[in-house]
Structure 1
Amino acid sequence: MQGSLMVDIAGTWLTAEDRQLLRQPEVAGLIIFARNIDSPRQVRALCASIRALRPDLILAVDQEGGRVQRLRQGFVRLPAMRALADTANAEYLAEQCGWLMATEVLAVGLDLS
């Protein structure tokens, strides 16, 4: 089986062990967590180093808003989507939050939330 695993790393930069793991053909992507994030600049650098090693990997983060927002410092705090549900313009607000989240995720080199 090739390219079916989504893996993670322990730190804010790639170690020799991480590089060895990411070179494995079974690895299709990497998800970053709060422990991997210091700042937007650092995340961009981390993503660039991963892309230099494996440009084909999918890079992901949990960035739904509310308590599930891994990118925090230097990023817009998104509300929990449930908080928007009872507003008169919930659909519009959810769409705007989606665009904002996507813009910030893509700006640091990640592919998806």
Structure 2
Amino acid sequence: MAILILFVSLFAGGLTLIMVRLSISCVFWASKYRHDKMRVFKLYFPYYIISLFTLSVAAIIGLDKHIAAIYYFSFVFIVSLLIWKYELIQSRKTQHQNNNYVKSNHPELP
């Protein structure tokens, strides 16, 4: 029985992780500034987190403040924050790598 509960928990957690990751990726894909992740973060992160928080609180209240619902939606909220942080770290790494590459303005001599 414990193995079944563990399997269901891992499956639900994995599915949740995939859904949260896809929702954040869709924000970047739908933005007209998709390559400027810092700008996308500044524009859409507050709206995303406020709406996620509102939906989480509404679901917790709708489920009569059940402890499992509180844990689940806390997990979803923390995972979404970590994914946004990961996206920003990745954008800084690629931006730093792009800044290190400097093309010479001098013509190449024979």
Shorter-chain TM-score above 0.5: no
Q: Which has the higher strand share?
A: 1
Pick the structure with greater CA Rg. Answer: 2
Q: Name the structure, 1 or 2, with higher relative contact order (CA <8 Å, separation 6+).
A: 2
Q: Which has the higher helix share?
A: 2
Q: What's the TM-score once normalised by structure 1's chain length?
A: 0.29
Q: What's the TM-score once normalised by structure 2's chain length?
A: 0.29
